[in-house]
Structure 1
């Protein structure tokens, strides 16, 4: 009997949860402590059931749950292997090249403009006013600025439908808590922003993946679900989706909105990347305004530290109800941060910065085209991440490649982090914005290309 399995017998007796849920927890625990390592082989179902004195069905459910979490791989004729999770890296300040957090690139010549604008704001502001509690959802001036920003995507936006929030994530927490009760279900794509997965888990809300094709979630799959188990909401990230970079077509948006309208299912439209493309289809909120909660922000358009989001609700009444949910979870957005955002929207700095980020993103995407020219991947010229399928038949998984890249100082995210159906594709999301310069970005992409070109390096590093 292997030492991890011997350890599990003791731990299963201590854990107060069903064994099929406890075993995946133990796999995660042993990965963290080093008892298990990626590519370790686990016993077969019947063997493990015998060693742990559990029935076969329980162990089968445990392995299925572990696969859903991205912890295990099963290979026909070979067995079940530990997949592992990509270790967390410092976000900045370390020796690694940061390509995990999907942050905008920092245009080299724009710092002075930001500094001058911020200084003018601080010089003219009442510091005590900024230290006081604010009207939740933003002052009239803040809402007016948010409305103008939203009108870039929602021409009919009006201020009494708008809330100013401390980042998109906090808005999503409030929306999920408002629209779905514990045990309720939200449907979404098979790939999704990891934050929505974490929020749903924290609030006890189920996520149901919809079947998809190359254009995104299928409207007929959405409708079939509505007929059998009405979802509390439909969540989507329709423009430059995180992680796949997919932008839903006008036709697909219209079809999904039509299903939502016919079955009265609220839509959570997380349009974090909406401002990056110069051209994009109309927002889902344009097709179903009476059902759609539209949210975008400045963290993907200007910088991740600018935690300001603008949310449009379907009606003024729903806006106020949502304000209560936001107040309960976040109290209010930082007045300093919101004042800066309002100033930058009003004086044109936000648009100029957005244009500069587009230009820098194009330059980095051109570097990627040159270096990854022999590999098929998905990207958008005005976006700053790419979705890289891992080719080959030699058994390498995205988590193994992410681990190998980490060992070489490159941080990227394996597909399991984004999977909502327990069957992640073999791919990596690579953020081009986290590198501090084009030269650093180019160096990182060369390392990724080298790892793809010579997978035996990965084999020798992990075994």
Structure 2
């Protein structure tokens, strides 16, 4: 069977041709109907068999490319990736690739791509916590299998990392996992079924789309505005009866920097409750927003799952995260943890408990990070403002819109040659139009503000001369 015959035999009239066709192609690649290196049919031929527009089929091909399943070769067509390459760089492109391909003298690369928060304190405290764990933890904790649901005393100790509105909940609503990404994957895998549709924002952290794709689920996007998800658009999708889960980042959104207001959260939660849609809220940056509205899990405890972790707060190496949900859902997710890895490492859990005891240090770090973020956002705005259309910032990153005359892909290549790693906004897109004229800058990642300034000056120089070769300036 060919992919064209598969398309012809699997028509849909339910108005969701895009999602249906994308799933057909993904299944064909997974099952070997489309083999590694094989060329996809021309858009016109595929659209004809599917009885859809060229625009719809183009959107399908673009989505498959964004997810790392295929690659487009200029003038040659679109080809299925080799098995070893499928999914490569699907969450974030590897800056090492561009450094090897475009070396500029022996200059140090300023990485504004990976959304990290540089801090010396994180290294100091993780070393301290691991040392304490090695001498204090009991043999029962260090040498015994535990189940995925976790220990009540451990959960009690780790509540210090939850936002204030959630610290008084019962331990049967808390699950310790391997971080927010693991929480997203586990929740999607355990709480959805084949045929369910996952609703996303037009722009989001790429790890969500990667999880949806790997689990073989379908997705659609909901419209957003400057307050986040648009209630009218969300309800229109819910009325069609296909949405099972909504995934959102309501505080310090990555990449748009939006924090959804309390009134908007209440509107979205009420719609989710009305249509029995589960809300998964990724709150990995929430600790930087102590005055943010309560999470969905507080406002709608039977309808929402709260996810966070310590990767941004302490260090990416501390793979500990938390889920807060109704007890029957945390139990389902615990079964998923057990099936994947049996349990979260007791060593890491005990290290996190040690860190949780340093409440004054945690508070000071958050305060210092917020102050540093303000300084860096002001610097970024001052250096780039002459060359950009709009600039949004939050505590970890900036979302920059560039004039349509600027080629984003060319800009990314030029800055890479100049020793600055940035991300194309389309890396975060869940449809074909979002983020096309944007870049995301992780301005908290450089270790010093001087390093950030160096990278921003290079970026501004290229933006002021977009048609010149970056080698002419550096």
- What interval of TM-score do these two structures reach, taking the shorter chain for normalisation? 0.7 to 0.9
Pick from 386, 390, 408: which aligns with 1:398?
408
Give yes or no for contact 1:185–1:208 (8 Å, CA) kept in 2. Answer: yes
Matched, 1:301 2:313: yes
C-alpha distance after superposition, 1:153-200 (max 9, x if no partner): 425422121011111111111110122112310112111110110000
Q: Which runs of 5+ in 2 are unaligned?
A: 9-20, 30-36, 67-73, 79-88, 101-107
Q: Could you tell me which residue of structure 1 aligns to residue 203 of structure 2? A: 191
Deviations 1:54-86 (A, max 9, x none): 979789355332334577xxxxxxx99999x99
Partner of 1:101: 114
Secondary structure, aligned partner of 2:297: helix
Map of 1:408 onto structure 2: 418
> 1:234-255: CA deviations, max 9, x gaps?
1111001111111111111111
Residues 30-179 of structure 1 mapped to structure 2, 5 A cutoff: 60=54, 62-68=57-63, 87-90=93-96, 95-107=108-120, 111-112=123-124, 114-126=126-138, 129-179=141-191
Q: Does 1:292 pair with 2:292?
A: no
Deviations 1:329-380 (A, max 9, x none): 2322222222111111123243343333333333322321332233321102
Give 1:377's aligned residue.
391
Q: 1:69 to 1:412 in 2, by over 3 A?
A: farther
- Does 2:358 match 1:347? yes
**Mean alpha-carbon deviation: is it higher for 121-130 or for 196-205?**
121-130
Query: Counterpart of 1:281?
Result: 293
2:447 counterpart of 1:441: no
CA distance in 2, matches of 1:149, 1:443: 34
How has the CA–CA distance of structure 1 residues 256 and 379 changed in structure 2, closer, same or farther, with 3 Å as cutoff? same
Paired residue secondary structure (1:439): helix
* Structure 2 counterparts to residues 195-274 of structure 1, below 5 A: 195-274=207-286
- Name stretches of at least 5 consecutive residues in structure 1 with no aligned partner: 1-11, 26-32, 34-43, 72-78
**Residue 17 of structure 1, CA deviation:** 7.7
Distance 1:135 1:333, change over 3 A: same
SS for the counterpart of 1:264 is coil
What TM-score results when the alignment is normalised by the length of structure 2? 0.77
- Would you say how many aligned residue pairs link Structure 1 and Structure 2? 418
Compared CA separation, residues 81 and 220, structure 1 to 2 (3 A): farther
Match of 1:418 in 2: 428
Output the aligned Cα RMSD.
3.8
For the 8 Å contact 1:302–1:350, the answer to whether it is kept is no
Q: 1:345 and 1:364 mapped to 2: Cα distance?
A: 28
| CA–CA separation in structure 1 for the residues paired with 2:77 and 2:229 | 30
Change (3 A) 1:65 1:126: same
Q: Secondary structure at the match of 2:351?
A: helix
For residue 453 of structure 2, give the secondary structure of its aligned residue in structure 1: helix
Q: Return the offset for 1:102.
A: 1.1
